[in-house]
Amino acid sequence: MKQLSDVQVTIVGLGLMGGSLAGALRGKCRRVVGVTRRTEPIDIALGRGFIDWGTTDMAEGVHEADVVILATPVRVILRQMHEIAPFLPEGCLLMDLGSTKGRVVTEMEQLPNHVQPLGGHPMCGKEKSGIEAADPALYRGCTFILSPLKRTSQEALALGRALAEAVGANPLVIEPERQDYIVAAVSHLPYLLACALVATADATVSADPAAWEVVATGYRSTSRLAGSDVTMMIDILLTNREEVLKALDTYQARLRELIRLLETADEEKMQAVLGVIRETRRKMYPASQQVIE
């Protein structure tokens, strides 16, 4: 079985995710190679010591790789995997870092037999994007979802796990549909709520200069995700549309229940409903973790 320390890892796309992963892997495997469309990210990645070598030539970048990681938007991944497959050596592990897994894994089924495909989704990020925002510590402590296919060998999965652990993440194997269902509710839905909140503030109080002096930390937290990279989020939303729309349906129903309670000023029921919600949130985050909020 291949050891991570012996392999060449080629990362396609040196944005926030790819650049951070390169920096975290450098020195932990034989060679880290970066492939991008433009030369600028390569120069920055070389300057920051994130990669051993970089190229804008896809075939050249991947033909000696033991592991190739697609760190591009989901809809680019869907196309790119087929473009690079002919250049991959026998048994090469092909992973991605896309935030939705259903379509990626379905597409991976079509890859030629010499490729070992593995869906990947590290649950980390930042509001800033690009190689400038990259940080080798980004993956530390985060959950790194792995979605193997039936055809994925145990060795390939083990190498994927080793890679996730090498960058400080906790690998978690989940089926693609289950991951898409979960992240719709805990990641994509919160983004849209934050956006609607910012749009509401913008449409109402933001004209009052006092509004921004009054803003408390609560608004800041609740609206944080609205600062996410738009192109990335659209890619995610459109490749997980059905699950996100279902989550939005449930959310709207829950919100309408809260509104009804407020309209009727049913204090006893409010106490019960909001009390259960508070307890639910507290159980999600044990006391030891609450300090860093």
| Entry field: residues in the chain | 293
Binding mask 83-102 for a second copy (x = CB under 8 A): --------------------
Contact with a second copy (CB under 8 A) among 46, 76, 142, 158: 142
The residue count for binding a second copy (CB under 8 A) is 93
Residues 26-85 that bind a second copy (CB under 8 A): none
**Contacting range for a second copy; rule: CB under 8 A; set: 1-9, 35-43, 157-165, 199-207:** 199-207
Class of residue 293 by CB neighbours under 10 A (exposed 0-12, middle 13-18, buried 19+):
exposed
Residues 201-220 that bind a second copy (CB under 8 A): 201-206, 208, 210-220
182 is a site residue for a second copy (CB under 8 A): yes
E-only strand ranges, the chain: 8-12, 31-35, 53-55, 67-70, 92-96, 115-122, 143-148, 170-173
Beta carbon nearer to a second copy, 34 or 160: 160
Closest CA to 92 of 145, 46, 153: 153
Min separation Cβ 151 and a second copy, Å? 23
Is residue 124 within 8 A of residue 149, CB to CB? The reply is no
3 is a site residue for a second copy (CB under 8 A): no
**Burial code of 141-163, b = ≥16 C-beta within 10 A, e = fewer?**
ebebbbbbbeebeeebbebbbbb
Residues 247-266 that bind a second copy (CB under 8 A): 247-248, 250-252, 254-255, 257-259, 262-263, 265
Beta bridge partners of 172: 145
Close Cβ partners of 105 (under 8 Å, ≥ 6 residues apart): 117, 119, 147, 149, 176
Sign of torsion, CA 9 13 17 22? positive
Residues 145-174 that bind a second copy (CB under 8 A): 145, 170, 172, 174
Min separation Cβ 214 and a second copy, Å? 5
Contact with a second copy (CB under 8 A) among 6, 49, 86, 277: 277
Beta carbon nearer to a second copy, 150 or 281: 281
**Contacting range for a second copy; rule: CB under 8 A; set: 42-50, 55-63, 77-85, 192-200:** 192-200
Beta carbon nearer to a second copy, 76 or 197: 197
Residues 229-248 that bind a second copy (CB under 8 A): 230-231, 233-234, 237-238, 241, 244-245, 247-248
Secondary structure letter of residue 11 according to DSSP? E
* ∠ Cα 138 67 2 (to 5°): 110
Contact with a second copy (CB under 8 A) among 11, 143, 155, 162: 143
Residues 117-136 that bind a second copy (CB under 8 A): 123-125, 127-128
Retrieve residue 143's tokens. 């959950």
E-only strand ranges, 202-244: none
Min separation Cβ 93 and a second copy, Å? 23
Retrieve residue 216's tokens. 């408390």
Min separation Cβ 115 and a second copy, Å? 27
20 is a site residue for a second copy (CB under 8 A): no
